[in-house]
Structure 1
């Protein structure tokens, strides 16, 4: 049995019951759990599991560096008190890992890309714990560490979140007497500036790559850098720091609305195996004082995330984090994922560097936005419509701007980026047939073999707020069939590639209110064609939310005057209902394709044949916690077209939302 956690404190923490004592207890358990896998010299932590594409020596370095983060936060928060001897243990590893003649020598950053990532964690903790570790190392060890870290100087780094790894390393070298390059740091800061987007968001590259890397990397490092290193006024003028503070405040204002009442973060984007690393930007707000959110809200959100995973077995049975989401699920790994990769979750425990008397630990927890009332918001940069209901605590986004691709690209859809919807309670099937033929949260054109089109490369037409608490978004693009059978490139989150067959131009409009989406669809000839005599397809299919359960979810469907389909578990209900043009329905069930549970089911609607070009199809798409037998107020939603490509949605309370389904051009 795992060691018992401290008693809950519902006075200070009325929502989670957790205090700093719970965080320290879990940190200590996580660090103790990796001890049996530490090499004799301490430089490598070789955790069980399949090797990454970088190899087992790199994986051992990763295990060292990422748990070193957690040990550093733990000791720093105690102002150097270290009764367990954590820093002494990691000091042995530093000596062995940086010794080129040691059997445990680390791969050098100038020879292996993954070592560039891990070097940043090493440098960050050396700076954070400098009086208690770096200043006490032997001169020979310090020289070897500086040499190993110094191999990053002048190296190529991809223009994504990786630039911060070099900034951190060279900033440590600058202060510790090593070789560094101001030009490198300035170049990397320029890359970061190029990734800035409206509303405090950052894209992890020039593609539309919006995901948790915005928070656990691109917002984590800048303000931590200005706190830990002497860069203000030289490398970081006051106006630049102020800009970063404003960006973080705007981002966190959105981020706290993307957390479910059960503590789950949004299941979207790559590297989800880092789990509660999603709490990292919250702690940056507390550490820097620049997040604009109350300390009690920051801790409530962060503790909610950590408890969400702990309560669902992420550290069971032996205290190790495995590749997976709640528990181990190898299908979640990407090619760069090794057994030590999940320990980037340590970033989500950054708050431990703050002492026990810091306001973020002493303030009473404050409720999440979804616990105060319903949420409706447009997040312009990723093209997301955000909705959350206090009645069920689910936060969801309808996606009209993110696909991990560029406009006009013709790759397959990445399940974790290009779907029309993501939530804190569902995840798209990540393996199996629907990765090539999307069903969940999709609008797909089916060819005569039943293959579904992909939408990556679409363009965002608009995302906007409407009167009466509704939000609306529109995206459009030529859909395409992609044969990805021959693509064996490493999985870094993007969609697969292969021979492409072009399909029609598809416009999708979403009107979202109180978690209920009215989804409107229009097909037109591809650009440059006045008609479509050479295009042929069988039907148009619209998929709803995927729900997961240990057994096959309950399902029902009907056709005729009330064409609809529904999949329900004891916790969730997903429903799609025709408003105009869909005459067939069903539920697709898959086994073993989700990290949430064994079975996943998705309700869908389709047309009986090729939809007429220029006609608007319409359906209601819902996800809630109602049972299959419970009434659904979304059944009262209606939509009418005025013939001029404007649609009026009538809601059950009598309010109306008017949106355009624009024709091409």
Structure 2
């Protein structure tokens, strides 16, 4: 078997950019399942993938039900590929095993007590929520869309046997918001096929889900993330067409309207070549967000996306991964982003979890004459973008999307982040510079990192002790390490300037004394940062650029020079380069090599700025910097490395705010940075 998927006999007439047509999607699904099925020898053997050491489940000495959960997850999520293949060819086989027979058999065994690999019932476990609910939801989302794949293969007696288990899990306790969708698809499937359910419970879940709609087509999910697209839009649109339109038309209309709204900005999340952005949790699901492209052609309005562009982006996102040898581990998608990176996954993931990334294969449920399949590939707005950068502002989820025509990369700039987590808290996420993990010694990529040098912290005293006479835990050793922002606040876009706030320590620990006010101006392939420190006591901070992976053991080439107060550092690897320029407020520029932090390789280089202040009462200061990136091997020009021509600092602005700036750029554009009332404009 080839070490990675290759597009055989590409069709560059219909798909001039990827060569991928409907036939190639089928071939890709078969290729992926052939690798998965190396772990079974016969139709009787249930699917079980090798365990991966680390924090993912099941852990050593885990209870038996955790192993049942991992194997059920492998079965259900590989059906994301098998279901569409069976729909298109009921006789399709992998390794001589007919897929329809295999999945029919093993779902029957899983849902019928006493059979091999049968699932526990909720009453057999402590009252809580379990991964089983999630997998039931995924399965019945697929079966709502394509019921004839396996459900029609069972006798009425077999269905009745299975429905007992299905119903118990469908009615069982769920958790928070997006999980309600799993109960919804399970219960709806049962009702659609004539089985009794608790209708009030189903409606309650539906009302809960609809209540989380936040605007711009987005839903709240812990914070804002890809779950809003992949679950709240993809799963529920399938539910709409198969069930909701008939049984709950008013709630279906809420979902329909939000899905249609989402399509306005969906393509901006992707690079020109279809690359997805490594952002938010569950990154091992990778391309599941691309499932929204075929969903666009399941909506009541059919012209919301250019069909050729939609397929181009969908195909490009899949090829981003399946064509890479390091994507596979134990013959299946790795637990990471590209290769196996255990430090980048969550403890609720198991070896079978990544198969959810193949949600886009629901496109095979679209008819062959769907525009998704018949339209000629194109690059959408990228074709006319040139070297400009396009910006989409989503105020409700607090996201700004930037598409850089000069480099073909796209960025997600988050504004409503509730906690310190590299999945969410970075200043920006780029499709072609995947994020690095946090470095507690400073220099974290694309983050402001903060370390207190307050002697009270370094001694382990409570900073309020001398006011209250009371002490609280204050870990001196922990305080010696750098931390990232504890939350990110969104303050809006005013006159083309994006305002946010990085809260480096939360109240009650003097949260208002640990603020960095952020102001950003989009450049071609970069950003100008004009940030204001409001850090009350002695401190040290760093600001890191995107990390550069080391391929073939070769580190990045770093160059550095100063021109008066202006300082420049660049780092370059084949095909990619970054530059960091500081104009004001920073002490020095540095670079360092990270190990086991980058998404692509074990080692990486990051360039960063450093600032230290030892005053007992440090002043507010302005930090002015420029962060640029390239996607070629051309050297940096003098003009590229000097985009700012004049900086006018205004101590008290005409709006009665403090420490503002008027910037004049090399292209003669002027920007007024004014932090007036920024605290009152907070949104999170």
Above 0.5 in TM-score?
yes
Superposed CA deviations along residues 24-55 of structure 1, whole A, max 9, x for unmatched, are: 00111222222243486758421123261572
Contact 1:73 1:353 (C-alpha < 8 Å) held by counterparts: yes
Give the gaps of 5 or more residues in structure 2: 59-64, 459-479, 654-658
Contact 2:440 2:482 (C-alpha < 8 Å) held by counterparts: no
Partner of 1:408: none
Alignment counterpart, residue 484 of structure 2, candidates 449, 454, 464: 454
Give the gaps of 5 or more residues in structure 1: 406-410, 483-498, 526-531
1:305 matched to 2:306? no
Q: Distance in 2 between matches of 1:217 and 1:371?
A: 31
**Equivalence map 1:61-72=2 (5 Å):** 61-72=72-83
Aligned residues: 618
Contact 1:68 1:121 (C-alpha < 8 Å) held by counterparts: no
Q: 1:382 to 1:621 in 2, by over 3 A?
A: farther
1:98 matched to 2:111? yes
Between 90-99 and 553-562, the greater mean CA deviation after superposition: 553-562
Q: Distance in 2 between matches of 1:351 and 1:82?
A: 18
Alignment counterpart, residue 631 of structure 2, candidates 616, 625, 633: 625
Q: 1:592 to 1:481 in 2, by over 3 A?
A: farther
Alignment counterpart, residue 573 of structure 1, candidates 571, 574, 577: 577
Partner of 1:544: 545
Alignment counterpart, residue 669 of structure 2, candidates 652, 655, 665: 655
Superposed CA deviations along residues 99-119 of structure 1, whole A, max 9, x for unmatched, are: 211232123356461000111
Q: Distance in 2 between matches of 1:307 and 1:477?
A: 35
Q: 1:138 to 1:233 in 2, by over 3 A?
A: closer
**Secondary structure of the corresponding residue to residue 563 of structure 1:** strand
**Equivalence map 1:75-90=2 (5 Å):** 75-78=86-89, 80=90, 82=92, 85-90=98-103
1:393 matched to 2:408? yes
Deviation at 1:440, TM superposition (A): 1.6
Superposed CA deviations along residues 320-355 of structure 1, whole A, max 9, x for unmatched, are: 222122233333321011011011022121101123
Partner of 1:516: 526
Deviation at 1:233, TM superposition (A): 4.6
Between 264-273 and 33-42, the greater mean CA deviation after superposition: 33-42
Alignment counterpart, residue 557 of structure 1, candidates 539, 544, 560: 560
Contact 2:278 2:286 (C-alpha < 8 Å) held by counterparts: no
**Secondary structure of the corresponding residue to residue 635 of structure 1:** coil
Q: 1:233 to 1:88 in 2, by over 3 A?
A: closer
Partner of 1:487: none
Q: Distance in 2 between matches of 1:649 and 1:624?
A: 24
**Equivalence map 1:240-259=2 (5 Å):** 240-259=251-270
Partner of 1:157: 174
Partner of 2:365: 353
Deviation at 1:72, TM superposition (A): 1.5
Superposed CA deviations along residues 122-155 of structure 1, whole A, max 9, x for unmatched, are: 3233344434532331233211221111013442
Partner of 2:348: 336
Between 548-557 and 501-510, the greater mean CA deviation after superposition: 501-510
Deviation at 1:434, TM superposition (A): 1.0
Contact 1:43 1:92 (C-alpha < 8 Å) held by counterparts: no
1:296 matched to 2:305? no
Alignment counterpart, residue 480 of structure 1, candidates 496, 501, 505: 505
**TM-score if structure 1 supplies the norm length?**
0.86
Contact 1:264 1:425 (C-alpha < 8 Å) held by counterparts: yes
Deviation at 1:92, TM superposition (A): 0.9
Partner of 2:229: 215
**Secondary structure of the corresponding residue to residue 152 of structure 1:** helix
Between 630-639 and 194-203, the greater mean CA deviation after superposition: 630-639
Q: 1:348 to 1:198 in 2, by over 3 A?
A: same
Between 627-636 and 329-338, the greater mean CA deviation after superposition: 627-636
Partner of 1:380: 395
Deviation at 1:607, TM superposition (A): 2.8
Contact 1:387 1:395 (C-alpha < 8 Å) held by counterparts: yes
**TM-score if structure 2 supplies the norm length?**
0.84
Superposed CA deviations along residues 489-522 of structure 1, whole A, max 9, x for unmatched, are: xxxxxxxxxx978552321111223232111222
Deviation at 1:74, TM superposition (A): 2.1
**Secondary structure of the corresponding residue to residue 296 of structure 1:** helix
Contact 2:406 2:524 (C-alpha < 8 Å) held by counterparts: no
Q: Distance in 1 between matches of 2:181 and 2:173?
A: 13
**Secondary structure of the corresponding residue to residue 621 of structure 1:** strand
Contact 2:544 2:607 (C-alpha < 8 Å) held by counterparts: yes
Between 168-177 and 69-78, the greater mean CA deviation after superposition: 69-78
Q: 1:349 to 1:196 in 2, by over 3 A?
A: same
**Equivalence map 1:15-34=2 (5 Å):** 15-34=17-36
Q: Distance in 2 between matches of 1:286 and 1:83?
A: 29
Q: 1:290 to 1:274 in 2, by over 3 A?
A: farther
1:173 matched to 2:167? no
Q: Distance in 2 between matches of 1:109 and 1:178?
A: 19
Q: 1:626 to 1:656 in 2, by over 3 A?
A: farther
**Secondary structure of the corresponding residue to residue 356 of structure 2:** helix
Superposed CA deviations along residues 266-322 of structure 1, whole A, max 9, x for unmatched, are: 111111111221211111112335461021121111011111112223665885222
Deviation at 1:553, TM superposition (A): 1.3
Q: 1:170 to 1:143 in 2, by over 3 A?
A: same
Deviation at 1:626, TM superposition (A): 5.0
Superposed CA deviations along residues 444-475 of structure 1, whole A, max 9, x for unmatched, are: 333237633432234322234x3xxxx42212
**Equivalence map 1:279-294=2 (5 Å):** 279-290=290-301, 292-294=304-306
Contact 2:33 2:82 (C-alpha < 8 Å) held by counterparts: yes
**Secondary structure of the corresponding residue to residue 247 of structure 1:** helix
Q: 1:175 to 1:422 in 2, by over 3 A?
A: same
Q: 1:311 to 1:477 in 2, by over 3 A?
A: closer
Partner of 2:163: 146
Contact 2:543 2:610 (C-alpha < 8 Å) held by counterparts: yes
Deviation at 1:98, TM superposition (A): 1.6
**Secondary structure of the corresponding residue to residue 517 of structure 1:** strand
**Secondary structure of the corresponding residue to residue 460 of structure 1:** strand
Q: Distance in 1 between matches of 2:509 and 2:166?
A: 44
Superposed CA deviations along residues 395-414 of structure 1, whole A, max 9, x for unmatched, are: 11333x132x2xxxxx5x20
Contact 1:556 1:587 (C-alpha < 8 Å) held by counterparts: no
Partner of 2:468: none
Q: 1:605 to 1:222 in 2, by over 3 A?
A: same
RMSD across aligned positions (CA): 2.8
Q: 1:83 to 1:41 in 2, by over 3 A?
A: closer
Between 152-161 and 342-351, the greater mean CA deviation after superposition: 152-161
